[in-house]
Amino acid sequence: MRYRLQYFIFSYFFLVLFFLVSRLFFLFYQHSFSFHYNIGEWFAIFAHGIKHDFSISAYLMAIPGLVLSFSVFMKNRIVKVFLNIYFAIFLFLCSLIVLADLELYRNWGFRIDSTPLLYLKTPSEAFASAENKTILLFSLALIAFFLTTKFVYSKYISPIIKKFSPQHFLFVLFYLFITASLIIPIRGGVGIAPLNVGSVYFHNQQFPNHAAVNPVWNFGHDLSKMNKKMPNPEFMKKEEAETIFDSLFPKNDTSPLFLKKKANVLIIILESFSGKIMEELSGLSGITPNLSKLIHEGIFFKNLYANGDRSDKGLVAILSSYPAQTTTSIIKRTKKTQTLPYLSKKMKKQGYKTSFYYGGDLNFANMRAYLTNGEFERFVTKDDFDSDTYNSKWGAHDHVVFNRLTEDLKNNAHAFFSVIFTLSSHEPFEVPMETKIQGDDEEAKFLNSAYYTDRCLGNFIENAKKETWWENTLVVITADHGSRHPGNSPVYVNEKFHIPMLWLGGALTKTDTVITNYCSQTDIAPSILQQLKIPADEFKFGKNIFAKNQPSFAFYAFNNGFSFINDSTNIIYDLTSKKYLLKQHANPLDLKSGKAFLQILISDFNER
Q: Are residues 148 and 9 in the same domain?
A: yes
Q: What is the mean pLDDT of the chain?
A: 94
- Mean pLDDT for the stretch of residues 200-215: 94
Looking at 223, 255, 281, which one is the last position of a domain?
223
Inside any domain, residue 251: no
User: What's the CA gap between 285 and 451, in Å, rounded?
Assistant: 11
Q: Are residues 218 and 144 in the same domain?
A: yes
Contact 274, 499 (CB under 8 A): yes
User: What's the CA gap between 290 and 299, in Å, rounded?
Assistant: 15
CB crowding 370-382: b at 16 or more within 10 Å, else e:
bbebbebeebbbb
Q: Are residues 199 and 323 in the same domain?
A: no
H or E segment to which residue 547 belongs: none
User: What's the CA gap between 543 and 395, in Å, rounded?
Assistant: 35
What pLDDT digit, counting tens, does each position of 432-469 carry?
999 999 999 999 999 999 999 999 999 999 999 999 99
Q: Are residues 215 and 286 in the same domain?
A: no
Using alpha carbons, select from 461, 401, 403 the residue that is nearest to residue 425: 401
Q: Determine the pLDDT at residue 512.
A: 97
Statement: residue 596 has pLDDT above 90? yes
Statement: residue 470 has pLDDT above 70? yes
Q: Determine the pLDDT at residue 115.
A: 85
Q: Are residues 202 and 289 in the same domain?
A: no
Looking at 175, 204, 223, which one is the last position of a domain?
223
SS3 477: strand
Inside any domain, residue 234: no
Q: Are residues 274 and 345 in the same domain?
A: yes
What are the residues whose beta carbons fall under 8 Å from the beta carbon of 535, sequence distance 6 or more?
529
Q: Are residues 335 and 437 in the same domain?
A: yes
Q: Are residues 397 and 509 in the same domain?
A: yes
Return phi, psi of residue 355, to 5°: -150, 155
User: What's the CA gap between 106 and 216, in Å, rounded?
Assistant: 17
Q: What range defines the domain where residue 506 resides? A: 263-607
Q: Are residues 319 and 398 in the same domain?
A: yes
- Residue-level length of the chain: 608
Inside any domain, residue 544: yes
Q: Are residues 171 and 36 in the same domain?
A: yes
DSSP letters along 324-363, please? Answer: PPSS--GGG-HHHHTTS--HHHHHHHTT-EEEEEESS-TT
Inside any domain, residue 255: no
E-only strand ranges, 490-589: 498-504, 513-520, 553-558, 561-566, 570-574, 579-584
Using alpha carbons, select from 61, 83, 69, 7 the residue that is nearest to residue 183: 61
Strand partners, 477: 268, 502
Q: Are residues 484 and 339 in the same domain?
A: yes
Statement: residue 1 has pLDDT above 70? no
DSSP letters along 144-201, please? Answer: HHHHHHHHHHHHHTGGGGGG-----TTHHHHHHHHHHTTHHHHHTSSSSSPP-GGGG-
Looking at 175, 203, 223, which one is the last position of a domain?
223
Inside any domain, residue 11: yes
Statement: residue 52 has pLDDT above 80? yes
Strand partners, 563: 556, 572
Inside any domain, residue 562: yes
Cα 359 from chain centre: 21
Q: Are residues 214 and 282 in the same domain?
A: no
pLDDT bracket for residue 165 (50, 70, 90): confident
H or E segment to which residue 426 belongs: none
Beta-sheet pairing, 473-479 with 498-504: antiparallel
Using a cut of 0.75, tell me whether the model's pTM lies above it. yes
CATH of residue 482: 3.40.720.10
Inside any domain, residue 365: yes
How many domains does the chain contain in total? 2
What pLDDT digit, counting tens, does each position of 178-202 carry?
999 999 999 999 877 789 898 999 9
Inside any domain, residue 236: no
